[in-house]
Chains A and B, each alone.
Chain A
Amino acid sequence: MKPCAETADEARVAGSYLGARVNALRKAQNPDGGWAYFPGKQSWLEPTLFAALALHGEPEADRAWELASSWQQKDGGWRPSAEVGFPHESTALAVTVAASRGEFGGPFQSGVQWLLGAAGVESRLYKRAILRVGSMLGMLEDQRDYSLEAWPWKLETASWVEPTCHALVALKKAAPKIPSKELRERVRLGEEMLLNVRCVDGGWNYGNRTARGDELRSYPETTGIALVGLQGRPELGPAFDLAAGMLRETSSPMARAWLTIAMRVNGISVPAHEASLTPDVLITALEALGAPEGNHSLLKAAA
C-alpha cells in the first residue's frame, strides 16, 4: 500500500466526480435544512450529518447543523429524526460534526457525556450472567468477550460494529477537548471490542463472528467502517489488503464509498473511480466525502 498521491488525471476525474455529488446534495436538501435518505422524504439525522460533512463550510451545512441541533434532547443524545422520540447512535455523528465545526460548547459536551453513558446491554452484569449460563448450557457458541463495553444503535440493546465505530471517531475527535480517563478507557474498550468481533477472514460484518458455531463472513461496507473507527491502530496492515480486494470486487456503491473513506483516512491511496450518481442521498454524501478532494479528513481522529 502506498501513501496518498493522486495523479493529475485522477484529480481531474475526481473533481467532476465530487462536483456532481455536491450539486446533487444541494438539490436534495429539504426545506427544513435536512436531508432524507431519498429525495422528497422526511429528513433524518444520519444523511443530514453526512451531507453536512460533505458540504462542510458551505451555507447548506450550516442550515443542516441548525436543524440537527434542534434534535438534541435534554439528556445530550440526538434523536434520529423529528418523528422518533428517543436518542440514537447518530449522536456520535453529531459530536463529530460539532467537533469538525469547532463548536465545543454545551451541545458538544453533553453529546460526549451521552456517548460515555451509552453502552450495549450485553456488558451489563446480569446480561453477562445470562450469556454465561447460555454458554454453559451450550446455547451460545460464540467466544465474544462481553465485558468489552461498546455502543448500541439504540439504548437498551446490544452493541454492534457500526455504532461503535462512529462513537470511536467522535470520542477520538473529542479527546483533545475532554482529556478524561473515562473517555480514554471507553475508546480502548471500544477498539478491543471491534478486534474481538473481527471475522476469521480479517474483516468485519455487523458484529458477529459466528452463528450457531459456523463462521460468518465479513461485509465490505462494515469492514470499511471498522477501519475508520480503528484508525491509527498498528495491527491493521493486512486488513487494508483485504479492503483493497473488497474495493475491487464489491458491486455496492455504499461499500465502495466506505472502503474508499477508510483507505484515505488511513493515508492509503485509492484509484479514482467512475460511478454514476445514485438517488440514495446517504451514498451520495459518502461518495463526496471519499472523493480525493472530499472532506474525508473530517473523519480523521486528529482533524
Chain B
Amino acid sequence: MKITRRELLTVAGAAALGGYAAWDARRLAPRKLAGKSAVAVVKAASYTEDLAAKITAGIHECGLDVRGLKVLLKPNLVEFDPNTCINTNVAVIAAAYETFLRLGAAEVLIGEGPGHRRDTYALAELARYRTDLEHFDSLFVDLNRDDVSPVMGFGDRDRIYLPNTALRADLVVSLAKMKTHHWAGATLSMKNFFGLVPGAVYGWPKNELHQVGIPESIVELTRIFHRSFAIVDGIVGMEGNGPIQGTPKQVGVLVMGSDLPAVDATCCRIMGIDPDKVEYLQMAADRLGITEESRIEQRGEPLQGLRTNFQLVKQFQQLRLA
C-alpha cells in the first residue's frame, strides 16, 4: 500500500471524527424490550431425517401462526464449493417449504440475492436447489434483480432500496447457516439478511453495507424485516475462515424462533462464541430482541451438552465464550 507517514498523520484525526459522526447517526431505538423470548433447539443428526417434522415442532414450540400469510423463505446461498458446506442445505429448504404450506401459509416463495455471484440460477443449480426442489424456477425470486422500492432510513443513509418480493412478504423466514464469519464473527439469521439487498442497485459485492458498517447494516436489516422467523441450519455448520473458506462442523441442531437476536445469541452459545462480544448482537440487544441467556426461554433441547466450540480466525479469538 503506497502512503506516506505524513499522509497517515494528516487524516488520523479526521477518521476518528468521521467514525463518531457515523455512530451518532444510527437510527436505533433506546433499550426497552422487556420479558422473555422463546427459542427452540431441535436435534437433527443428518439431512436425511424427517426435517419437516422437526421444523413443525420448532414452529409450534415458538407459537408461530402462519395461516394466511405470504411467506418468503430466505436461504443462505453464497457460493458453491463441493469440498465444504457454504449454503443452507437444500433438505432444510424443502422441509421448510413443505411445513409452511402445510401449516396454512397462503403463499410460500424462495428468494435470495447472492453477494458475489451474478448468475444466481446457476449457483442454485450447483447447490442442488434447482434439481432437488420441485418447481424451483417458479418459486424462486432472484432478489438481486427483483423490482425495488425505497425504504427510508438505513444507518447513516437516508434510504435503502429493497426488493419488492421481500417488502411485500408477511413473514420473511431466515433459513440461515450456522457459520463463523471473518468480518462479523458469526453469520446466522440476522447476517443472512444481507442477501435481501439488491445487487442491481448496490453491486456484487454489496459494498454499501460495509461502508455503512457491517454490524450497523445487520441491525438495520433486522429492524426493517421485523416480521420474520429464523430457522438456522446447524446440522452441519462451518468453522474457521467462514463464511466461504471454512471447514464443515457437525453440530446436529436446528435453531428456531421469532426473535432473531435471541436465536443468534443461542447459536453463538452453541458455537462457543460469547454473544455479548459480537458487535451486532450488542447493538441489537434489548432494542430488537433479547440476547441475555436468562431471558431466553429455551424450548426443545436444553443447551447443556450441545456446545461445540467452532474454530475462530485469529482476529476473533476474543469472542470465545468463557
CB of B61 within 8 A of chain A?
Answer: no
CB of B182 within 8 A of chain A?
Answer: yes
The secondary-structure label for the interface of chain A is loop
**Given A37-B145, A41-B146, A126-B11, are A154 and B245 neighbors across the interface (CB < 8 Å)?**
no
CB of A13 within 8 A of chain B?
Answer: no
A206 touching B201 by the CB < 8 A rule?
no
B142 touching A163 by the CB < 8 A rule?
no
CB of B204 within 8 A of chain A?
Answer: yes
B201 touching A252 by the CB < 8 A rule?
no
Which of A3-11, A67-75, A145-153, A291-299 lies on the face that meets chain B?
A: A145-153
B244 touching A129 by the CB < 8 A rule?
no
Task: Output the least CB separation between B120 and chain A (Å).
Answer: 9
CB of A58 within 8 A of chain B?
Answer: no
Residues on the A chain within 8 Å of B145, using CB = 37-38, 44, 282
Closest to A38 in B: B145
Residues on the B chain within 8 Å of A158, using CB = 207, 210-211
Which of A97-105, A131-139, A234-242 lies on the face that meets chain B?
A: A131-139
CB of A119 within 8 A of chain B?
Answer: no
Residues on the B chain within 8 Å of A143, using CB = 1
* Whole-angstrom CA separation of A46 from B118 in the bound complex: 13
Closest to B125 in A: A251
Residues on the B chain within 8 Å of A275, using CB = none
Task: Output the least CB separation between B284 and chain A (Å).
Answer: 23
Task: Output the least CB separation between A39 and chain B (Å).
Answer: 12
| Residues of B166-210 whose CB lies within 8 A of A | 182, 200-205, 207-208, 210
The contact size tier of chain A is 35 or more
**Given A157-B208, A160-B205, A212-B313, are A83 and B119 neighbors across the interface (CB < 8 Å)?**
no
Select B3's contact among A132, A160, A250, beta carbons within 8 Å: A132
B200 touching A128 by the CB < 8 A rule?
no
CB of A162 within 8 A of chain B?
Answer: yes
| Residues of A208-264 whose CB lies within 8 A of B | 211-212, 214, 216, 219, 221, 250-255
Select A131's contact among B1, B121, B161, B210, beta carbons within 8 Å: B1
**Given A83-B148, A254-B119, are A147 and B3 neighbors across the interface (CB < 8 Å)?**
yes
CB of A89 within 8 A of chain B?
Answer: yes
Q: How many residues of B contact A (CB 8 A)?
A: 44
* Whole-angstrom CA separation of A132 from B12 in the bound complex: 11
CB of B15 within 8 A of chain A?
Answer: yes
B148 touching A252 by the CB < 8 A rule?
no
Select A206's contact among B3, B10, B116, B119, beta carbons within 8 Å: B116
Task: Output the least CB separation between A100 and chain B (Å).
Answer: 22
Select B204's contact among A121, A129, A206, beta carbons within 8 Å: A206
| Residues of A18-77 whose CB lies within 8 A of B | 36-38, 41-42, 44, 46
* Whole-angstrom CA separation of A125 from B8 in the bound complex: 8
* Whole-angstrom CA separation of A220 from B145 in the bound complex: 20
Residues on the A chain within 8 Å of B3, using CB = 125, 128-129, 132, 146-147
Quick one: which of A46, A133, A157 has the most chain B CB within 10 A? A157
Task: Output the least CB separation between B198 and chain A (Å).
Answer: 9
Interface residues, chain B, CB within 8 Å of chain A?
1-3, 7-8, 10-12, 14-15, 18, 116-119, 121-123, 125-126, 142, 145-150, 161, 182, 200-205, 207-208, 210-211, 241, 244-245, 313, 315
10 contacts between A and B (CB under 8 A): A37-B142, A38-B142, A83-B161, A129-B8, A152-B207, A154-B207, A214-B241, A219-B116, A221-B119, A255-B122
Of all A-B residue pairs in the complex, the 4 with the closest CB atoms, nearest first, are A153-B203, A252-B122, A37-B145, A126-B11
Name 18 extra pairs, CB < 8 A, besides A152-B207, A212-B245. Answer: A36-B147, A83-B148, A83-B161, A84-B201, A125-B10, A132-B3, A146-B3, A152-B203, A154-B208, A157-B203, A157-B207, A157-B210, A160-B204, A162-B204, A214-B245, A251-B125, A253-B122, A255-B119
